[in-house]
Structure 1
């Protein structure tokens, strides 16, 4: 470590020394005119350091010099230069704080379908039903009972609005089924769209602030349906095979799970600009980490919480993952990549899924640790024909 000399002479003393040197014999004069540089090994290299002549004179004449003062207890030395009197020192930056431990999540089975032959594919939270509502091809369920069956035999996903309406994507009949609701239970249903505007609708998302627009993932396009009865319109095209959509809490961005391209896209509703938000479209795989470096396998469902965290059912990898809304880092919440199966986990490890699809979360609440509120992420575990519940453990 290099310390600034503390016993350097004053300018007047320097002048006196130089004047005295003029009276010395020629051989002695040479000793006082050593070029004022020294080489100091530092970090495996050499650094040229300007030194005041009086210090060199003292060194060459072997005159004793006071010991350097110890560094201040309030200053951490680090190398830096000021151009005067050798080296000055500035405090070294404090080391970054240790990163917080990653949260852990538990996985449990919330509900198993009453009809083993019809896989559960969708799940939503309904304020009027007071529960999640799950869906297989023909029937909607809550945790207590089957709510109703429809004459439709190809329901694929479900969404809910704040007015008590449930929306079901019906890809086989190229329509969206709307089922109204009141305090007594479900009422009659109507439909939105037809074969002239829809090909195979799947994921649905309701936007209350848009105002009152239902978005539908429909193969290579996204369709929008104003719920006031005006005509549907195409929001955008150019997708590979969109499987689900979700809105952020501000209503500014619509996120799209493009299962056919193995990536997550995002469209800004104000100008309809489309971007790849996570993964690399056209490249399948499994990689956690920075969202654009992450890799996915047929992502099938989306949900977004109040903090902007995006949850994805990575169906082909049999896992549920999270893209952090602040750090933009991707992590796996539950499941084991590439391993399909069924097992619950109360400890955050060992839980298995089988082709998870629809996701549901309350976007108005913060996700608390289990025990501080019954708030969870619900998963339509299609291959296991059940609804799974993910809770935060730490």
Structure 2
């Protein structure tokens, strides 16, 4: 399936561009990000017939999808805070180079980039950063394995009032950093901002399956989560942290993130907990009284896992990360236990629904879900097995990092 971008205005097509893969759009099935005057507003899956003009065919499908969508409000951006982008990586120099190229092309007027090399086995990452990206990207090393430990090292190295985190397997839209930093200038109570994640490529069955069931996207409607006004449609708030965003596209007010202790180093990819580092941080920020803002204007393109084996590992890891982050939250904030217990019956029902088998033609509906690719029963079982393992994995990981101070302590 091809990936493309389509810009529209009130009169019609402004531009049709290939997605991050750079392949010109041709006949066949196409996944399209639709923009109105440059702003992301929807995705559409459409088929371009042989001999048809791709722009006209895709614009017709987009206009049908947009018939009930209100144009976004004008984007008002004031003075942006100094922002540090942190990219944690391990032995993926080729992917990292692509990500750094996109980050250096950002339209934010005042930012820096820190690459954290997590428990490296070779010098490939250091050589890349200190060679091709010398004087433009700072290199630091974190010997403790795990994504959360690497992110904490990035916090210690950052010099911005805002810290933005993304992964080494993304391509950032040129406006990403401006869009994810702007809410911090607009609202002093904002402690975290997350953004839109779309697929960079859809070339394998595993990638298409993941995206057809929602992928990492959280929709095209901006939303503010305020602990002082719990949302009526989120009965598990704030413990359904996966609804808020993902670690490949998140930013924090630096002083707020440090005040809650940063990321729990016993969570995240690279630890026995398998994940949950981003979810833990979201909940800690909210329970500390800060607002969390989701904005689709902050867009990154993510390279999804390519194989069925990758997808199985991902399903198990997501399940483990979910219960690992809940365990971490209670271990570090026992006072939250009554609130979690009060939500437990609904939480169990939510977990069953989230991991339920979705039969033929019953894919999870999403902003861009095609619902045409059934979710395998085996993946549902793996998610549930991961949930059972998560607390055990967190306990193992916590023993490994006990006594290790936070990198910025004493500064």
Both proteins in one fold, TM over 0.5: no
Q: Which has the higher strand share?
A: 1
TM-score (norm 1): 0.25
The structure with the largest alpha-carbon Rg is 1
TM-score (norm 2): 0.24
Q: Which has the higher helix share?
A: 2
